[in-house]
Each structure stands twice: as C-alpha cells, then as structure tokens.
Amino acid sequence: MSGMRSRPPRRIEPDSASGQDAHRLAALASDCEATGIARRCLVLRLSLLPNDLRKPQHLRLARDALDPLLSADRAQRFILPNDDIVMVWRGNADGPLAASRNAVTQMFADTDAEMAEVLGLWLMLDLPADIAALRDVIATSLDENSVPPTEKPRAAPLDAAALAVLEATLAQADVARFARRRVVCIAGTDSKFRPAWEVRYLAADELCAELAGGRAARAEPWLYRRLARTLDRRLLALLAANQELKDARPFGLDLDVASILGPDFLRFDTALPQLLRGRVTLGLQPADILADLAAFLFARDFARARGYRLMLCLPDSDMLPVLPMAKLGLDLVEITWSPAALMVPAELIEREAGHMVLAKADTAEAIAWGQSHGIALFEGRAALPGMPTFAPPPVPAR
C-alpha cells in the first residue's frame, strides 16, 4: 500500500469525537447546494465494518489508503464520529481514485471480509445532485456516535410544560435549518441502488436539543406524536414556500392524518408542481390511523384523489398481519429492519414485498434478507445511491 503513495502522507488529526468534521462537512454540503458548484465525494463507510476490523490500526490504514486523493483539486478530508471517512474534491481525480480504491481493497485482502462487503464500504457521490445521501451519511454519524453511549447523560424528557413552551417557540422560529432528507433507494438492475425518493422531515431530536433545552424528544411517545403534528404543519409551510419545490425530485413526508386534513396541507398541495403530482408519498403511523378511522378514510380518499401515494409505516414487522396494507387501502408499507424480522413468516413478507420499503437497512444482512424476500425498496446506511445491492441467494426449497 505504501508504494502507491505519490507523496508523504499529510497527517490530519481530526477531532472526530466532537463531530467538528461532521459539522464542517455539513456546512460544505450546504454551500455546495447553494452555489451549485460540482464536487465529487467519496465516503469510505468504515462504520459498516464488524468491530474486529475497526481497530485503531485499521482506521489508520484506511486513512492512509485515501491519501492519494489529497492531491486532487481542493481536496478535503473529513473524519466523521462513527469512523466514516469522507473525501471531497473538485474536478477529475481518476488516477488517485483508482489508487485509493486499490489500496482499500488490498487493506482487506488478508481478512475474512467478503469482496462484496469491501465494495459496499465505497460510496461515490456527485454533489450537489447526491446531497441528500451525503446529509444522510452525516446525520447517521452524529446520531449514533457523537457521544459514546455509556457516557451519554440521560436527557430530561420533553414533558407537557416543556412541550407547551416549545410549541410557542416553534410558532416563531425559523425551522428551515432543521430540515433534513433521507433517501429511499431502489435496487437497480445494474446491481446498484438508485434513489427512488427522498423523505423530507424536520429533525425533532436536534430541534429539541436546540429549542427545548436538550430535552429528549421521544421520551414520552404520545407527547412526541403531538410534537410531530406541530412539526408537520411547519414542514408543510416550509415546502409550500415560494420556489421550495420548484426543482424538487420525488419525495415523501411522514404526516399525521389530521395534518393531511389541515389548512397547511391544502396550501402545500396548491404549491406542488404538476410534475410531482403522483410522485409524492405520504407515510402514516398506525396509531394515528386508528385514533380516528373516519378521518383516516376521508384523508386517504382525498389524498388519493389528489395523486398522493400512501404508505403505512409499521413500527414492527409483527404488525404486518394485524394491519394489512390492503385492508387499510394503502399503496405501500414500510417495515423496520431488526433481527426480529427474521422470525416473521416469509410468506407474510413476500405477499407484500412488491409494495414494501425496508427501513433502517443499515447492514448487508438487512439488504440480503430484504432482497431474498423480494423487497426492492430500502432506506438506510447500507442502501445509499450507488452502493451495490446483494444478489438474492437461491430460492430455498420449500
């Protein structure tokens, strides 16, 4: 590996634990989005590696492996809190890129890591087009690892009094800076993921951290649902604002039933460009549906008449038989990956797989499980645009 270096490595001592690099990268992403200046971006997703391949020496080797890219025009390196390394540069750097890729491959040559896994670590993005994927990488790194879990102080819950104050604050606050996107990808025929739509949302946790004195947004689940409804209104207002959706790609929103029937949704619906009609997916929570079924049925029929696709977001795959998508008259169902999904009878998944999104698909295992059950839509760290899919294993004999 050392023979490939074109010059002595420039040591960078990043302050990754505090997330400074992540915030610098987020600023660069925003700048890139605002100016439209094209940049290339490589994410080396070391966070996907098993622990025995994530020891300090591995991380050091991986950083060294990307050194060739520092020779590219205006190259910058960012070490994220979860050990992912991001390189950003301008213009063509095919030579250094090939050298880096070769070095990374060699790095794992003596390990048990499968080639597919190694390739899965390597994520190429073109900015600003893939900005949502980059933001997802940043958000994930901050979510999971900014503070080691053992040291995380237990935040006070967002109680009713704090929620009341927060709701009053939100009526005035500019929430645009909390707007986030995560990408739902579809497994392409070229064995790579490509974006299907991006989910737009307001980052409730960050918002509470900043506007509600660091309170834990989700500690009280029903108060969180109430907060979510307030955030729905703000998000809809944000999207309905002038020009916000002018060049938008297909997207999704998780909304409360009451939000779909509210005045903000009507304003948003009016602002929705004709090109996007039929390409917006609304995600609904089962508790919201059951809380007022008459309102749900009305909202469902209204939204469908206006060309929205409706998705049931199940918190647990156990709920698939309890809340069948077809009985509820919805178009899609999202289940969240967890090892418990392995216990769900295959036929339950396969029956709806053609209309199913597998969320939190953060590992190769999740992708392999989903694809082997016929799922094509994924959302998670292991399913970002450009990442390789996993060929389904042979169908087991029944």
Partner 1 sequence: MTTRSSLPPAPARLADANAIGSGGGGNGAGGGPTVPGERHLLAALERVARAPQGWSVVALHLSRLLPPAPRPHHRRIARAVMQDAAQRGDGQVFALRNGDVLLLTRNVAQPVSVVSDRLRRLFGREANDAGGIVSEWQLPAGSPELLAYTADRLREPEAAANKEAAPPPAEVVDAVAIAIAGARAQDIIQRQVAVQLDPHGGGPGAAMHVSYRELTFSLDVLETRLPESMRPGQDPVLLMHLSRYLDQRMLQILQLERGSSAPLDIGVNTNFALHLNLSLPGVMSDAFAILAGQFRAIGRPLGIEISMLEAVADPPGFAHARARLREFGARLVLDGVSHQALLMSRPALLRTDVMKLVWSPRIADAPAEEKAALATAVLEADPARIILHRAETEAAVRWGIANRIRLFQGRYIDQMLGVQRMVSCLGAPACTLQQCAERARATGGAGRASCTNFPLLDAALPGAPAGGSGP
List the structure tokens of 345.
């009878």
In the complex, minimum distance from the CB of residue 341 to partner 1, in angstroms, rounded to a whole number: 12
| Closest separation in Å from C-beta 329 to partner 1 | 8
Tell me which residue has tokens 């060049």.
247
Q: In whole angstroms, how close is the CB of 357 to partner 1 at the nearest point?
A: 18
| Rounded (5°) CA angle 361-362-368 | 60
| Residue in the structure block whose two tokens are 């439209």 | 36
How far apart are CB 248 and partner 1 at their closest, in Å? 20
Which of residues 26 and 346 has its CB atom nearest to partner 1 in the complex? Answer: 346
Q: Measured from the CB atom, is 122 or 302 closer to partner 1? A: 302
Tokens of 136: 């997802």
* Contact status, residue 133 vs residue 125, Cβ threshold 8 Å: yes
Nearest approach, Cβ of residue 317 and partner 1 (Å): 9
Other Cβ atoms closer than 10 A to 175: 16
The residues facing 284 across adjacent strands are: 312
- Which amino acid, one-letter code, is at 237? A
Residue entry with tokens 């591995």: 58
Smallest distance, Å, CB 238 to partner 1? Answer: 15
Footprint on this chain of partner 1 (rule: CB under 8 A) = 159-161, 163-164, 167, 220-223, 225-226, 229, 258, 261-263, 266-267, 269-270, 285-287, 290-295, 297-299, 301-302, 305, 315-316, 318-319, 321-324, 327-329
| Count of beta carbons in the 10 Å neighbourhood of residue 154 | 7
Q: Which is nearer to partner 1, 33 or 316 (CB)?
A: 316
The closest alpha carbon to 275, from 305, 245, 310, belongs to 245
Contact indicator for 368, 341 with CB cutoff of 8 Å = no
Q: Is the dihedral of CA 34, 36, 42, 43 positive or negative?
A: positive
Query: Looking at beta carbons only, is 45 or 360 nearer to partner 1?
Result: 360
